[in-house]
Structure 1
Amino acid sequence: MGLTVSQLAASVALAFVVSILCIFGLNNYVLMCLRIKVCRYMRARREMRELKECPFVTIQVAIYNEGNIVTRLLESCLKIDYPADKFEIVVIDDSTDETINILKDYEERYYPKIKIIHRDRRAGHKAGALNEALKNSKGEFILVLDADSVLKPDFLKRAIPLFLEDEKLGLIQGKLKHLNEEESWLTRTLAFISDWFSNLLQASFSGCRMVMGFVGHGGIFRRKALEDIGGWMSDTISEDLDIAYGLQLKGWKALYVEDAISFEEVPPSYFSAVIRFKRHIKGSLQNLIKHWWPIIRHKSLSLSGKIEALMQLAYSLVYPLGLLCLALTLLVYIIIPGAAIDGFWHSITGFVCSFIILISLPSVALIISPIPSFLIILLILAFALILFPKLKEIARRIKWANHEVIFGLLLVWYDNILNCLSPIAEILLGREGEWIPTERSLRRTPLNRSKKIREITLRILASCALTLFFFVNAISIKNFSLNSLGLLLLAGFWLCSAYLIIRN
């Protein structure tokens, strides 16, 4: 049966959007290959270099109402393996609670080792706080930490010698590990996501001399480099990504050092994770808008370097593209007979397309072609277990290869389709939005009840709308497609995320 012009147009539009999503997904394999390629390079740096001289280092921390964890941070900094007269700790405090008194107590005990600067207004948020810290710092190198950071004692000795070897090195990002990773399936999922973006990607970009990001803490800057680009900018909500791109586009080098280790917490509740995801989505898109043209015009970057630099900033576009993919899928179900849709997906061509989408972005494949996707997954698992009997035992050693983390990864991806709505609206309307600190295990942020209700309502309404569409399309229009069951899968994940927000 031939397709009409409108049916063909809808099908081509859906195929085009899915192709773009697949490009983002397949690029992940490129980055994994780059990571393997640079493993030898990283291993070559494992031997600690001798620190012949100890330049002065300032440890900077921006604090906002985090008294329950700031003690752990300061004690960690005081115990670092570095000459006591060669580092200082500068804390910029915007707090409005008992944190002020805790910090004053530390300043009285350790001044001038620890200096506390209190601000009455949160001008510029974290970027403004770090600029204020820079004015009051005397270090040649600046180590930026968050309130939940915990340093390994040898952090500075692992990183500082590399600065002394290369005068153009402006930034070192250390490796991040997670203090509360094993608390639940949710924290394991969030830790895996953090590992992917904070460690694997940065190691790949660094090893291949591409533009890498800074994840906001656990990194050291050369003061000259910061001053060269005018300090921290507050025109984006992700000042960390902005400063890293600004430095490297100005000619400074950045390096990921796997042996310079610090610890952080992942969000302990799903609602706090949602707030963080929204901030990351908005920040990366703001930086894409700010840096895309300087990246393209940059003379020193290779073509592959430019592509990866843009892809890193543009990755958050997969979520609005996922929403567009869903809208086009609904349109296809309305205007094309279900038998024709199933006829394509259940053909050899359909199975090949499903396989390509499945290995690129499984979350997309499970929405638009769930039947062939599930069959492919079952066949692969069956053959793998028959041909490689010890595969199950190997999988147990891989922290993400269990059903809980896989479920969590799908949940986060599907939920970010909704999470991207408000950040994109704020960017289009020119609204600054509220900078909300990430919740910590020892510091539970008082919940904004109205925001929580909005998030729950959005997910319940979106889930009900998809479910209603499925049954109306199947019963009233009599246009049922087996593959439309993917809509119910998505609706189910949105209900799960609503439940997690309710539970907090």
Structure 2
Amino acid sequence: MAALLWYFAVFLYFGAAGALMLYGLNCYVMIFLFHRGRRRAARRLERVAARFGDPALRDDLPVVTTQIAVYNEVNVVERVIRAVCRMRYPRDRHEIQILDDSSDETGDIVDRMAESMAAEGFDVQVIRRNTRTGFKAGALAAGLEVAKGTLVAVFDADFVPPEDYLLRTVPFFMTDDRLALVQARWGHLNRKRSFLTRAQSIGIDGHFMVEQAARNWNNLYMNFNGTAGIWRRSAIDDGGGWAWDTLTEDMDLSYRVQFAGWRTLFLPDLVVPAEIPEDVNAFKSQQFRWAKGSIQTALKLFPRLVHQPVPIFQKIQAFFHMTHYLIHPMMLVVAVLALPVLLGFDLKGGPLFFGAVACILLVSMTAPNALYLVSQRAAYTDWLRRVLIMPVLVVVGVGIALSNTRAVVEALIGHDSPFIRTPKRGDREIKRYRTAFPGLAFAEILLGGYCVMTFLAYLKAGKYLIGPFLAVYAAGFLFVGLLTLAPRLFREG
């Protein structure tokens, strides 16, 4: 019986490591597709610009509704309203909806700002609901019911759109009748705040600059990122409208719209800056929502994906895209089973096995870093200085594996959970929003200690190739666990 259990552990261990390698190798596929499509995409944008001319001089621009989704955003709501009103566009063709579900004093700021902007000639509407049914997706759907625009821009409360946002996005809809979505790249207002925010900025850049661009430029499915995008309203309706049976309503709608035959466009040079979570608890909460929601979306849409009349490569890439967060359960399996697998081996044997595992882990860990490196080089002139923080990103990426595994498991078993917003600080913090008590941090610290023990066992056994990876696992869980508890401990003290 013990032998069977050990063989089963080896099977899980190798299977998890192999899955990590596949997701890692796909990072290299993304890098290749990014480089292959970059010049072709640039030429396409130049053709549209030359054909359309200066949008500010045209008198046939469509009516746009800009939706600002708000829930208890005291620190940032005034900033985003002012930024949206500053966007250059004919005022008689630009409706601004503030979708306010707030339960605190945010509502007072919203009312004051709406009255002030309306007095200046802006078409500002405040829409409030009696209940938060559907959370953000429900608010967007409610606003859409009374929206005037044929195009709908969406911004979260912590985003600051540039003044030329509409003038740079609307022309694409006027030159392509089947274009459903134009997505801008996220920028970072508070990147320099800490090591944590700097590390997150690289991860976000990797997703946008390489992954989103690679998908869009090579006719693969691309997702709306929930904000900093503008939709054709008829495409939303054709795709089935906003739904809230997943926590990533943005990805869900994106795929449904593309399944209906609509196209998307990503503009990497149009940057909309936003806040990065500064508190590790807020960061983990955000990642939890994204992880659970993407797996929920995969479960919901995979049957439809299989039957789509598209090339198999496009389906494979969609699978990798929607199930990306499965890497965290795989990381956890590797971390937990590394010690039992070692103890079950004759310590003098198994060099081929452990060498193979080391190679697999090397690919799975270095491939995302290669993608991040490419993104920094493509986006910034000072990329060499920025990538110095990448080791922190690696450690944090491993450290959230336990929290994200919980998110994946909840999605797989169908456990419901509310949409938990990510607190924002703003230019000046007026109110501090608290996050829930981080009980999972104790498990992360224990897991980190276990990985330290496993790391020492591998060194003692002379398995030096795998040792460094276990050290990263140990550092990740300990770092994230202790960083999660630290604010609470200091406040209690």
TM (normalized to structure 2)? 0.86
Aligned partner of 2:106 in structure 1 is 99
Q: Secondary structure at the match of 2:298?
A: helix
Unpaired runs of 5+ residues, structure 2, are: 370-379, 488-493
Q: Is the 8 A contact 1:322 1:364 kept in 2?
A: no
Q: Which residue is equivalent to 1:374?
A: none
Q: How much has 1:182 moved relative to structure 2? A: 1.9
CA distance in 2 between partners of 1:395 and 1:113 (Å) = 40
8 Å Cα contact 2:182-2:267 kept in structure 1: yes
Measured against aligned partners, the alpha-carbon deviations of 1:419-439 in whole angstroms (never above 9, x if no partner) come to: 123213422443221211112
Q: TM-score, normalised by structure 1?
A: 0.84
Instruction: Name the counterpart of 2:352.
Output: 344
Aligned to 1:277: 287
Q: Measure the CA separation in 1 of the matches of 2:421 and 2:368.
A: 31
| Count of aligned positions | 461
Query: What SS does structure 2 have at the residue aligned with 1:115?
Result: strand
Matches within 5 A, 1:4-403: 10-11=9-10, 13-47=12-46, 48=49, 49-50=52-53, 51=55, 52=58, 53-111=60-118, 113-299=123-309, 301-341=310-350, 343-344=351-352, 350=355, 354-355=358-359, 357-362=361-366, 397-402=383-388
Helix, strand or coil: the match of 1:199? helix
- My pick for the range that moved more, 412-421 or 21-30, is 412-421
Q: What displacement does 1:353 show?
A: 6.2
1:494 to 477, 481, 485: 477
Asked if the contact 1:338–1:481 (Cα under 8 Å) also holds between the matched residues in 2, the reply is no
Say whether the 8 Å CA contact 1:7–1:336 is kept in structure 2.
no
State whether structure 2 residue 449 is matched by structure 1 residue 464.
yes
- Conserved 8 A contact 1:242-1:287: yes
CA contact (8 A) 1:285 1:314 kept: yes
- Structure 2 Cα separation of the partners of residues 457 and 214 of structure 1: 35
Distance in structure 2 (CA, Å) of the matches to 1:395 and 1:23: 31
Assess if the C-alpha contact under 8 Å between 1:229 and 1:250 holds in 2. yes
SS state of the match for residue 144, structure 1? strand
Change (3 A) 1:107 1:331: same
Return the alpha-carbon distance in structure 2 between the equivalents of residues 29 and 480 of structure 1.
31
Task: Give 1:38's aligned amino acid.
Answer: G
Q: Partner amino acid for 1:426?
A: E
Cα distance change of structure 1 residues 496 and 338 upon mapping to structure 2, 3 Å threshold: same
Rounded to whole Å, the distance in 2 between the matches of 1:135 and 1:5 is 59
Q: Which moved more, 1:187-196 or 1:125-134?
A: 187-196
- The 1:73/1:395 distance shift into structure 2, 3 A limit, reads closer
**Higher relative contact order (Cα pairs below 8 Å, separated by 6+ residues):** 2
- The CA deviation string for residues 301-331 of structure 1, in whole angstroms up to 9 with x for no partner, is 2111111111100111111112222333222
| Residue 79 of structure 1: how far off its partner (Å) | 1.1
- Cα RMSD after superposing both structures: 2.8
Range that drifts further, 32-41 or 251-260? 251-260
SS in 1 for 2:261: coil
Letter in 2 for 1:154: D
Structure-1 residue corresponding to 2:490: none
Secondary structure class of the residue paired with 1:259: strand
Q: CA deviation at 1:234?
A: 0.2
CA contact (8 A) 1:363 1:414 kept: no
Check conservation: 1:90, 1:117, Cα contact below 8 A: yes
Further displaced range: 322-331 or 175-184? 322-331
Alpha-carbon separation, structure 1, partners of 2:403 and 2:74: 29
Deviation at 1:338, TM superposition (A): 2.7
| Alpha-carbon distance between aligned partners in 2 of 1:110 and 1:485, rounded to the nearest angstrom | 57
Letter in 2 for 1:273: F
Distance 2:6 2:367 in 1: 24
Higher mean alpha-carbon deviation, 274-283 vs 428-437, is at: 428-437
Distance 1:484 1:36 in 2: 34
SS in 1 for 2:387: coil
Question: How many Å apart are 1:360 and its aligned residue?
Answer: 3.4
Paired residue secondary structure (1:170): strand
Aligned with 1:172: secondary structure?
A: strand
User: Does the CA-based 8 Å contact 1:339-1:481 persist in structure 2?
Assistant: no
Cα distance in 2 for residues equivalent to 1:139 and 1:29 = 40
Task: Give distance in 2, aligned partners of 1:474 and 1:174.
Answer: 46
Kept in 2, the 8 Å contact 1:363–1:410? The answer is: no
Alignment match, 2:377: none
- Aligned partner of 2:408 in structure 1 is 424
- Rounded to whole Å, the distance in 2 between the matches of 1:316 and 1:357 is 17
Contact 1:141-1:223 within 8 A present in 2 as well: yes
Amino acid aligned to 1:406:
M
Contact 2:181 2:229 in 1 (8 A): yes
Deviation at 1:46, TM superposition (A): 5.0
Q: Which runs of 5+ in 1 are unaligned?
A: 366-393
Are 2:12 and 2:333, in contact at CA under 8 Å, matched by a contact in 1?
A: no
Per-residue CA distance 1:121-163 (angstroms, 9 max, x = gap): 2110000000011012100100010001111111111111111
Distance, in Å, in 2 between the alignment partners of 1:70 and 1:413 is 30
Q: What letter is aligned with 2:205?
A: D
Letter in 1 for 2:476: F
The 1-side partners of 2:307 and 2:88 are apart by 43
> Does the aligned pair in 2 maintain the 1:42–1:258 contact within 8 Å?
no
Amino acid in structure 1 at the alignment position of 2:404 = C
In structure 2, distance between residues paired with 1:409 and 1:67: 30
Distance (whole Å) between structure 2 residues aligned to residue 123 and residue 42 of structure 1:
40
Tell me the equivalent position of 2:434: 447
Output the amino acid matched with 2:126: I
Q: Retained in 1: the 8 A contact 2:295–2:412?
A: no
How many angstroms apart in 2 are the aligned matches of 1:503 and 1:141? 45
Equivalent position of 1:413 in the other structure: 397
Q: Percent identity?
A: 28
1:174 and 1:256 in contact (8 A); partners too: yes
Q: Structure 1's 395 and 225: CA in aligned 2 closer, same or farther, altered over 3 A?
A: closer
Q: How far off is 1:219 after superposition? A: 0.5
